[in-house]
Each structure stands twice: as C-alpha cells, then as structure tokens.
Amino acid sequence: MITFSEFFKLNREIILFVYGLVFFLLGFAVILQTRRSSRLELARSLRWLAAFGITHGFYEWGDLFIPIQGEYLNDATMKILYLIHKVLLAVSFACLLEFGIVVLPASQKTRGFHGVTLALFFFWAILVFVIFPGDFNDLKWRWNANALARYLIGFPGSMLAAFGLREHTFQRIHPLNVPKIVRMFQIAGVSLGIYAIVGGIIVPPVSFFPGNLLNVETFTAWVGIPPLVFRSIVGTVIAFTLIRALEIFELETERRIEQLEQQQIINAEHERLARDLHDGAIQKVYTAGLLVESAERIADPKSELGKRLKRAVGVLSDSILDLRRNLSDLHAHTKGTESKPLAELLHEVALNPNYNALLKVSVQTDLPDDKPMSERRVVHLLAIIHEAMANTVRHAKAERVEIQAKDGGEALLIRIQDNGNGLPSELKDGYGLRNMRDRTRLLNGRIEFENNMGLLVTLEVPWKD
C-alpha cells in the first residue's frame, strides 16, 4: 500500500495541471465578470487579479510541459523557456502585489506606494541575474529564482492582497447591504492570507535561510502531503469565492436598472401632474379670477362687497402664480434644454451613465442650424427618447443602441435601433409605450415600432408647432 506522499508524487502531473487550471480560470472569470463602466472602485483593481491568475496558471503549466520539451529541443531553447518560466512567476506575483496596492483604500496608501512593485521586481532580477547568476538549465539556479520570487514578491503580495481586500470589503462593499457577497470576499481574503504561507514561504530546497530549513521537501516530510496540494485547495477556494463575489456587478446592474425605472416613473408622474395642473387647476382658477374680476367692475369699489371682491382677485392671482411655480418645479428635470442645440442634447443622452454603463450607445446627427425646435417640443421629444432607452435597458437585453437624427424637410426624423430581443409577438402596450405614443400625438408626429435585428423605433416629428 502506497503512502500519501507516494500517491501525490505519482499524480504530480495531474495536480500541476489542475493547479494551473484553477488560477487560469480565476483570471479568465475575472475578465469576463469585470464591468469597465462600473462605479465600484473594485472594478478598476480587478484587472491586476486577472493578470495574476492567468500568468500564474501559465507558470504552473510550465512546470508540467517544459520538462517534456527537453526530449525534442536543444539546450539553448530550453534555457530560454526556463528563463521565461521564472520571469513569469515573478510577473504573476508582481500583479498580485499590485492588486493589493490598488484595492487598498486610499486612506491607507502612502505616496509612492505604486513604485514598490517595480522596485521589488527589479531587486529580484538583480539578485537572480547579477548576484546569483547561473545556467538557466541548472536546477539550483531555478530553485533559487523560484524561492527569491516567492520571498520577495509572492509573500508580501499575497499578504497585502488579503489585507487590501479585507479593508476594501469593510469600507466599500459592506455598506451595500449584501451579506452573502461580503462573506465571499471575506473568505477570499482569508484564503489569500493562507496562500501567502503555502505559496510564499514554502519554497524549493535552497542553501539560504529560511529555505534551507522550511522548504517543499521538509514540509512534505513533516506533513506527509506536498505543499502543491494545499496550494491547489487554497487556489480553488480563492477562485470559487471571488467568482461568487463578483456577482456584485450583476447586483449593481440590477440596482441601476431599478433606479432608472423608478426615475422614469417619477418623471412620468411629474408630467401627468403638470398636465393636470396646466389643463385643469390653472385654467379653472384663471376662469374664476375672470368671473370675480368682472363682478368687481360692476360693484361699488367703496362698498364692502367691492373691497372683498378686489381682495379675492388678488388672492386668485397669487394662487395662479403659485400653481405656475409648482408647474415649473415639476418640469425641473427638463430644465436646460432651451439653451442647447438638439444635436448636443442627443449626444448627452449617449453620455448618460444610466445608459452607457449598460449599453454601448452611439449617436449620429445631421441636423440643420436654421431649424430650431421650441422648448416644449424638445422636452417631449427627449422624454420619448429617454423612454425608448429605458425600455431597451429594462427589457431588450441589448448590447448596443444607435440613435440617428436627420432633417426630413418639414419634419425631424429619428431612428433608435438596438440589437436586443425586440418586441414580443403578443404585446399589450405598457405605460412606457403609451406614454411615448401620447407624447408623439401631442407633437403631431408619428412613431412606429418594428422588430428588425432587434427593435427599431422610428420617430417623425414636425419641426414647428
């Protein structure tokens, strides 16, 4: 019956392949999950973690595949492969160290902190290539280069990454009230701390301290299991927890869409109240004012009735002013349209973070300068476009949207094309589509919805009232 150490020695190639695969998948998953448009600070630092995972995965695969090439390649080529192999190890740890620096909250960074990674990498290169040079094919040189990379860059990089991730989670992720994701980040941070020990301190046998006392051989003799197995387990935990924790970006997207929906509902309700005020309350108060004013003219101005009618006219006038002020407040979200060209306003739609954080939005305009549109019409037009964009974000599952605007003679022509799912065959108009149709009728325009490689919204609106 074989021992544990003999079993793992016989299956070393399989363990190496799995170990490299774990880190490669970690890096690849981080690349796929990261959102460049995310407002979370974590998104800017994850590229370093992805670089660590991919480069370290290739390094571990090098331990498996480079010796196999020795039967087919000459010594010079093998030297180059081993040189690249060891540089790749140092680069992978440098990426991990940089991740720890970047993810660390700004309040805990000092000036020049980012130069530490480059300084440690060059120090490692000087030690390996100048102070302790050797034949790249020589096992002793490879072990020395491996140990120095782990001591100088791997250990501090793993510890700083663990600490930085813990602090970032506490200060930036915990306030978002996502306990499951916070727990995943915490486990990942602890795992990185454990990796600092099994991956940064336990090195190949070398002649200098502490590698001459604590190394792969002595650890295996004491524990009975090679450190490579522990590294594989810890790497698997890091990969699993971080991939689960990156669901924070999906949650961020859902919350942003929910916020967009709420804002659209609020804006639509403001518009409804504004129309009710303008068409209902203000007109009625104004009519009442005219009636009271006509009664005042036929009353004796010195009589008690005449004085009260005069005061009533003043109160009604003040009431109309208050109602118009409230009407202006309800239209506050549309202020600023009167001072900007229509083309500029359309480009602002593309720059709106509620849209370009979730879609790639492009705008093409060919509009004349001598055909201005009234503020009232611009407000309704932009509301229709915003509603179309909001519907795309919420329902279409599209990746890009293109807005085209051009002069059609007597009318403005606008096309909004996305590459999403389009409208379902059996669709009942919801509030958003009804709102778009109602506003188009107010503008005496025409709007059409067509499934064409996604959804195509065609809007034709006369330039003038």
Instruction: Give the tens place of pLDDT for each residue, 34-59.
Output: 665 566 778 878 889 999 999 999 99
Quick check: 394 pLDDT over 90? no
Quick check: 193 pLDDT over 80? yes
- Report phi then psi at 164, rounded to 5: -65, -40
Q: What is the mean pLDDT of the chain?
A: 84
Average pLDDT of the residues in 363-384: 84
Residue 422: what pLDDT?
Answer: 85
Q: Quick check: 177 and 184 in contact, CB under 8 A? A: no
- Report phi then psi at 363, rounded to 5: -130, 130
Residue 90: what pLDDT?
Answer: 96
Residue 119 binned pLDDT confidence (cut-offs 50, 70, 90): very high
Quick check: 144 pLDDT over 90? yes
Residue 150: what pLDDT?
Answer: 96
Residue 28 Cα to chain centre, angstroms: 17
Q: What span, in angstroms and rounded, lies between the C-alpha atoms of 310 and 296? A: 6
Lowest mean pLDDT among 96-100, 140-144, 309-313, 397-401: 309-313
pTM for the model stands at: 0.67
Residue 379: what pLDDT?
Answer: 81
What's the pLDDT tens digit per position in 145-159?
Answer: 999 999 999 999 999
What's the pLDDT tens digit per position in 278-301?
Answer: 666 767 777 777 777 777 778 777
Residue 303 binned pLDDT confidence (cut-offs 50, 70, 90): confident
Average pLDDT of the residues in 206-226: 91
Quick check: 378 pLDDT over 60? yes
Residue 350: what pLDDT?
Answer: 85
Quick check: 8 pLDDT over 80? no
Which pair of tokens denotes residue 112?
């020049």
Could you tell me which residues come within 8 angstroms of residue 455 by beta carbon, excluding any fewer than 6 positions away?
A: 392, 396, 417, 418, 420, 421, 422, 423, 449
What's the pLDDT tens digit per position in 315-337?
Answer: 777 777 776 666 666 655 555 55
Q: What span, in angstroms and rounded, lies between the C-alpha atoms of 90 and 95? A: 9
Q: What span, in angstroms and rounded, lies between the C-alpha atoms of 113 and 101? A: 7
Quick check: 342 pLDDT over 80? yes
Q: What span, in angstroms and rounded, lies between the C-alpha atoms of 122 and 276? A: 71
Q: What span, in angstroms and rounded, lies between the C-alpha atoms of 58 and 242? A: 20
What's the pLDDT tens digit per position in 48-87?
Answer: 999 999 999 999 999 889 988 878 888 899 999 999 999 9
Average pLDDT of the residues in 370-388: 84
Quick check: 19 pLDDT over 70? yes
12-21, 151-160, 290-299, 341-350: which is most confident? 151-160
Quick check: 96 pLDDT over 70? yes
The verdict on whether omega for the bond into residue 210 sits within 30 degrees of 0, i.e. cis, is: yes
Q: Quick check: 156 and 97 in contact, CB under 8 A? A: yes
Residue 123: what pLDDT?
Answer: 95
Residue 359 binned pLDDT confidence (cut-offs 50, 70, 90): confident
What's the pLDDT tens digit per position in 399-449?
Answer: 889 999 999 888 999 999 999 888 887 766 666 788 788 888 888 899 999
Is the model more confident about 396 or about 1?
Answer: 396
Q: What span, in angstroms and rounded, lies between the C-alpha atoms of 57 and 332? A: 55
What's the pLDDT tens digit per position in 24-39?
Answer: 999 998 888 766 556 6
Quick check: 165 pLDDT over 90? yes
**CA nearest neighbour of 150 among 213, 188, 203:** 203
